[in-house]
Amino acid sequence: MAQYKQMAGRAGRKGQSDLGEAFLVIAKPDAFDWARNLVCGDLPPLESRLFPPSKGNDDLPCTAEQRRLYLESIACGVLKSQQDAGALAHRTFAMTSGTDAKSILARQDKSLREIYDKGLVQTRWCEGRTGEIAEWCSSSEGFAFYKSSLPIAHAQTLRIELEHALRHGLDITAKTHLLYFCIPREVNFFANNLNWRVWSDWLNDREELYNLGENHLEITRIFAERAQHRPGTSEEARRVRAKHERLAAASLLNELLSNDATSGDIARNWGPLIDNHLHNPLDRGKIQSLQKAAATTAGMASVLCVESGWHSLAGLLQNVSEELAAGARRELLPLMSLDGMTGARARALHSAGFTTPAKIATLGPTRFDRLQDAVMKSLSRTGKSTAGLDQALRTTSWRVASNLVDCARAVIKESREALREIN
């Protein structure tokens, strides 16, 4: 109900309109009472997400959000002592809106104790007005987790994996190994959904996947073969399955960046890897969500590496983050700065010799036809003319090419003005 009210509230804007309209379409006639209650019912009471009500249970465990709050507060210097912690708790919504003070303070103490026991927080002695005083501060590892903005559990696991890769070898022949570190489980459509029969065949047929799994990630075809019949329920079995699922997603993203295939092509080609894919099809939206989340995670992992002193690895991950955000490999990134540019279009222009905005901005009339042909190739996807669509494609490609020229000239002009200001 709260979600519906929030969505319906977008129909009007305070100060913009006096009235807004929201419509709820009912698919089933017998859902009328449910829909009426959804629209006319009272909103549930507002509760804190940081400190949910204890409901009489004073021995609740601390959450990842609570641990993150106190790590960030200590790392940025806001929280230095138990007295500061008490003041912070009394400023939370949970404390000011309820009578759950005992449970909140107990969960606060548990959170502080856990991040201290994990080595993310330590005590240092500083000069005070009355002599030396003890203050809380983050450890180097805790500060790295804070700067990366990753959840603590995720940051710990990722740091161990990255350190292992640095010590035992990183496969940079393709980006799959780097992409493996950037796959968030929350948006990985292969999680608990991998077709193990197909995946086992792929590990056997694709040498680069087999070598990366066997030599660097402890991902074996033998496990995939066994998982077809005995998936296993132990913690170790779940851990290894998750590694297979991450490698599958990383391989998909590597193909998306490396080839001329579109998201639709990738969805069709990789659909068989989804178990019961006819009922849960792989589509472009899921791929784009994975791509966006992986780009964000890669950027966070890069910051984690910088704070850990692994600068070379940080640079590689930052490059991966930029490529994922643009949806194109690194040599195409200059072209991706132009408005309306897509990965397929950038690949077509790059192949035709238009590798930078400057080359587009300065082309003469005689070369405009080449630009238009490259744009038309990206629009038709096959590069072959179709009798019924040829004229429409040519008209559209001329308009797109003209816009690209104008945009490229604007980008070059802005760059020159920025250089003048610097000089």
Over the stretch 29-83, which tens digit does the pLDDT of each residue have? 788 888 888 888 887 778 888 888 877 676 788 899 999 999 999 999 889 888 8
Instruction: Tell me if 303 is assigned to some domain.
Output: yes
Is residue 165 domain-shared with residue 245, that is, in the same domain?
yes
Q: Are residues 352 and 321 in the same domain?
A: no
Q: Are residues 154 and 9 in the same domain?
A: no
Q: What is the pLDDT of residue 138?
A: 93
Asked if the structure places residue 135 within a domain, the reply is: no
In the numeric block, which tokens belong to residue 84?
A: 């500061």
Does residue 291 sit in the same domain as residue 213? yes
Q: Is residue 335 part of a domain?
A: no
The verdict on residue 250 lying in a domain is yes
Mean pLDDT of 367-372: 82
- pLDDT level of residue 381 (50, 70, 90 thresholds): low
Rounded to whole angstroms, the maximal C-alpha distance in the chain is 89
Specify the higher pLDDT residue, 287 or 388.
287
Q: How many domains does the chain have?
A: 4
pLDDT tens digits, residue range 115-130? 999 999 999 887 766 6
Q: How far apart are CA 39 and CA 2, in angstroms?
A: 10
pLDDT given for residue 385 in this prediction:
46
DSSP code, position 64: H
Residue 319: predicted pLDDT: 92
Residue 163 lies in a domain: yes
Question: Residue-wise over 3-39: b if at least 16 C-beta within 10 A, else e?
Answer: eeeeebeeeeeeeeeeeeeeeeeeeeeeeeeeeeebe
List the single range of 22-36, 97-111, 164-178, 268-282 with lowest mean pLDDT.
268-282
Q: Are 335 and 351 in contact (CB under 8 A)?
A: no
Q: Determine, yes or no, domain membership for 336.
A: no
Split at pLDDT 50, 70, 90, the class of 145 is very high
Q: How many Å apart are CA 63 and CA 115, to the nearest integer?
A: 12
Question: Residue 245 falls within a domain, yes or no?
Answer: yes
What does the block give as tokens for 168?
């035992």
287 and 183 in a common domain: yes
CA distance 233 to 228: 13
Per-residue pLDDT tens over the stretch 82-97: 888 888 888 888 888 7
Judgement on whether residues 312 and 204 belong to the same structural domain of the protein: yes
Same domain? For 170 and 293 the reply is: yes
What is the predicted pLDDT for the residue at 382? 46
pLDDT for res 347:
80
What's the DSSP call for residue 61? P
Question: Do 176 and 316 reside in the same domain of the chain?
Answer: yes
| pLDDT single digits (tens) 177-207 | 999 999 998 999 998 889 999 999 999 999 9
CA 86 – CA 90 distance, rounded (Å): 6
Give the span between the Cα atoms of 74 and 138, in whole angstroms: 6
Q: How far is CA 177 from CA 149, 185, 251, 291, 349, in A?
A: 22, 16, 9, 15, 28
Asked if pLDDT for residue 306 goes beyond 90, the answer is yes
| pLDDT for the residue numbered 383 | 45
Structural domain harbouring 18? 2-40
Do 241 and 189 reside in the same domain of the chain?
yes
Alpha carbon separation from 301 to 80, 160, 163 (Å, rounded):
27, 12, 12
pLDDT over 60 at 152, yes or no: yes
Q: What is the pLDDT of residue 210?
A: 92
Residue 318: predicted pLDDT: 94
User: Which residues, in sequence order, are CB contacts of 340 under 8 Å at separation 6+?
Assistant: 400, 403, 404, 407
Mean pLDDT rounded to a whole number for the chain: 85
The predicted pLDDT at position 100 comes to 79
pLDDT tens digits for 212-261? 999 999 899 999 999 888 877 888 999 999 999 999 999 999 998 887 66
Q: Tell me: the pLDDT tens digits for 308-361?
A: 999 999 999 999 998 898 877 777 788 888 887 877 788 888 888 888 888 888
Same domain, 200 and 303: yes
* Residue 208 covered by a domain: yes
Average pLDDT for 395-422: 83
Q: Do residue 193 and residue 245 come from a single domain?
A: yes
CB 196 within 8 A of CB 224: yes
pLDDT at 278 over 60: no
pLDDT(167) > 50: yes
- Global pTM exceeds 0.85: no
Pair 167, 271 in one domain: yes
